[in-house]
A and B are shown apart, each in its own frame.
Chain A
Amino acid sequence: DIDNVGHKYHLKLVLEDITEQDCYTINCTAEILYHLGNTNAAPDVHFEIEGELKSTDEQDNMFYNRMKSLKTELVAENIPDSRGHVPAELQPLRRLARAAAGYVVWQHSTEDTRYELAQVQRVRQVKRSDDYLEFDYLVLLHEFVSQEIIPWQMTVLWHPEHGVKVTQNSRQPRHGEH
């Protein structure tokens, strides 16, 4: 408890690469400060990683080249599908969505929320003249405490060397039929 400022949390966590079988883990410490009152401010986050994250250059470049060379822009829906299935070629798009959604979740988190990415409802690739890949996502976030499913639009840029950027994001109204 920090008077007049907010609540600070000290975390020790272990990062695990879920795509790898060999259980590659990295220790991490973090400090999160939730600001008092002003719920529009995202919590402050500082972290330190012990060691290095694995290189994913090869997979990154493969995905990048595949997307860049598509004749028509990619469009996909319902990732995962009702049965939790994600086709192999859509896996990177889901991972990208998770990374981008992570940013959105961070911006909107308070001590009373817990967000998970429930599903990518729709993703549409947007053609660009520069090096970046651009995707327009509509994702469904599951907010645990209220149990609400919240549609969220995200415009996501990605480049193997420059990483992920969320240039636009907005909460969407719930679908008309209830």
Chain B
Amino acid sequence: DQVLRATAGDGAQLALLRALGEREDLQVDFWRGPTKPGHPADLRVPFRNLRAVKSLLEANDVPYSVMIEDVQELLDEEKRTMRLSRRLERSTETFDFSSYHTIEEVGACTLLHTHAQVCRRSGRPRARACTHACALTAPLPPQFSTGGAGRPAIWLDTGIHSREWITQATGVWTANKIAKEYGKDPAVTAVLDNMDIFFEIVTNPDGFAYTQSTNRLWRKTRSINAGSSCVGVDPNRNWDAGFGGPGSSSNPCSETYHGPYAHSESEVSSVVDFILRHGNVKAVVSIHSYSQMLMYPYGYKTEPAPDHDELDALAAKAVQDLAAVHGTRYTYGSIIDTIYQAAGTTVDWAYDHGVKYSYTFELRDTGRYGFLLPASHIVPTATETWPALLDIMEHVLRHPY
């Protein structure tokens, strides 16, 4: 079996790739699905169908390369190294968590872990060693899994607002932490023994690339807006929860432009589709910066969420455990009470679609550096946020619904 990377050049080629995935006979499995022309898709192809798939791609002039020559070899290699976490450490040992990385570096670090998918999809009995960080960039959600299909799941995302660099950096550290602690930390082990974690680190890749190439303070997606010279939609105003209401803007030039319609942005719709299709996501934690806050729904209305008391109590505990690490003070409460009215947000949508434990973090700091937080803050921020995340995950585990 091989993993091919194919890039559709136009809409027709994109449709072709999608159709490829639908064909039962070929059994092509997307590790990274086809989204837009120019964006790579990763396909795992069973050995017996390799020739057919490659011919199809070649006949239609779809460029591709072989990303993984021999999936089986990778699997065998896995078995040979006793504990995957040890291997992870060797390969992630040279990754500098205390500095900001380019989009390619984040992808490369996490590509090391793509064999998580191998373990999951190979159908082979899963050894403990098969659990590890598989953090990929949008739109395919990365997965930490030790078990069967359809288990209750936790969704985490960072980097939906591209200029909030501390979030992607915290995401990389946290993904690595989750992988490292499985089998060591009882809480992480308990969570992963019963639930799956999906962690999307660069949730707004176009925006992130733009912050690195052109404008460090870019927030939105990079969608072209029809009839306007202004680019981009605020991905945290584009969700179908109070969409278009006060707390978002109808002006494409605005930083809080909600977009032409709910879920117009692929960065949003891909997550919506994933969560709805999964059907068993029990928590959504969306991570932003800055302001040092932990918040729960609602942002679009003042009416308290039905689960307000429970969400508030959990937030209080998480914030306390966070402060215990480095003394960092967070405020907490509903979005509308704590920060401002905001319509069409991730967590409001999640909550209104049955995900009770919907939280959003605003990480360090409170304005002194704001978005331009020095790299020296990365590890301390990730380290202090970790117990808060764990509190939420443990609570979700112990309160099934």
Contact = CB atoms under 8 A, between A and B. Distances in A.
Given A149-B217, A178-B231, A84 B373 contact: yes
Interface string B364-386: 00011111111101000000000
Contact of B256 (A119, A146, A174): A146
Contacts of A80: 369, 372, 374
A119 B371 CA distance: 9
B217 A84 contact: no
A178 B232 contact: yes
A175 B214 CA distance: 12
A116 B255 CA distance: 16
Residue from A80, A83, A85, A148 having most chain B Cβ neighbours under 10 A: A83
Contacts of B212: 82
A174 B254 CA distance: 11
A118 B372 contact: yes
A124 to B, nearest CB: 20
B371 A118 contact: yes
Given A149-B217, A178-B231, A82 B374 contact: no
Interface residues of B, number: 32
A148 B255 contact: yes
Contacts of B215: 175, 177
Given A84-B377, A178-B232, A145 B340 contact: yes
Nearest to A118: B370
A142 interface: yes
Residue from B216, B219, B368, B373 having most chain A Cβ neighbours under 10 A: B216
A149 B217 CA distance: 8
Residue from B211, B214, B249, B372 having most chain A Cβ neighbours under 10 A: B372
A84 B377 CA distance: 10
Contacts of A178: 229-232, 253
B97 interface: no
B234 to A, nearest CB: 8
Contact of B374 (A83, A142, A149, A177): A83
Interface in A2-55: 18
A56 interface: no
A140 to B, nearest CB: 7
B100 A83 contact: yes
Interface string B223-251: 00000011110100000000000000100
A73 to B, nearest CB: 25
A142 B371 contact: yes
B331 interface: no
Nearest to A147: B255
A16 to B, nearest CB: 11
Interface in A122-178: 140, 142, 144-149, 174-175, 177-178
Contacts of B219: 147
B60 interface: no
A37 B114 CA distance: 59
Contacts of A82: 100, 165, 211-212, 216, 372
Contacts of B231: 178
B99 interface: yes
Contacts of B254: 146, 148
Contact of A142 (B232, B234, B340, B370): B370
Interface string B67-100: 0000000000000000000000000000000011
28 contacts: A18-B368, A80-B374, A81-B372, A82-B100, A82-B165, A82-B212, A83-B375, A84-B369, A84-B372, A84-B375, A85-B374, A85-B375, A116-B367, A118-B217, A118-B371, A119-B216, A145-B340, A146-B249, A146-B255, A147-B219, A147-B234, A148-B254, A148-B255, A149-B217, A174-B253, A175-B215, A177-B214, A178-B232
Interface of B: 99-100, 165, 211-212, 214-217, 219, 229-232, 234, 249, 253-256, 291, 340, 367-375, 377
